[in-house]
Amino acid sequence: MPVKINNLTNRPVSLRLKSGATLHIAPRQISGECMEGDVRNNHIIQKLLARHVLSMLTVKSQKKKIKSPKTASQKEKTEVSKKSSQKKKTVSTKDKN
């Protein structure tokens, strides 16, 4: 599960993760997402968490609602209803003349 790291100090913090990547966090800012395994197994980050230099935020995954694609029969129904409404409009304008 991805996590974010919050820098609680007024100084920038640089962290080397287990994956080899380095996080540079500005004062009072939150880092981008990183993997929980990089943070949980890192003894330096654990020390900074214990000293309240950093705090860890878990990222909740948001499920997006995906609209189901219209089936062929649904598309045909909408096209038929559009055509019939257009025909009604043309008939009504002809009747007025």
Residue-wise pLDDT tens digits, 7-58 = 999 999 999 988 888 999 999 999 989 888 888 888 999 999 999 999 999 8
Mean pLDDT of 59-63: 72
pLDDT at 54: 94
Choose between 55 and 72: higher pLDDT. 55
Number of continuous H segments (helices) and E segments (strands) in the chain: 3, 5
Evaluated on CA atoms 26, 28, 31, 36, the torsion sign reads positive
Q: Which residues contact 53 (CB under 8 A, 6 or more apart)?
A: 7, 8, 9, 13
pLDDT at 90: 56
H-run or E-run covering 24:
strand 22-25
pLDDT at 88: 56
pTM here? 0.58
Contact 81, 75 (CB under 8 A): no
Evaluated on CA atoms 16, 20, 25, 29, the torsion sign reads negative
Domain boundaries of the chain, sorted by first residue:
2-58
Q: Say whether pLDDT at 93 is over 60.
A: no
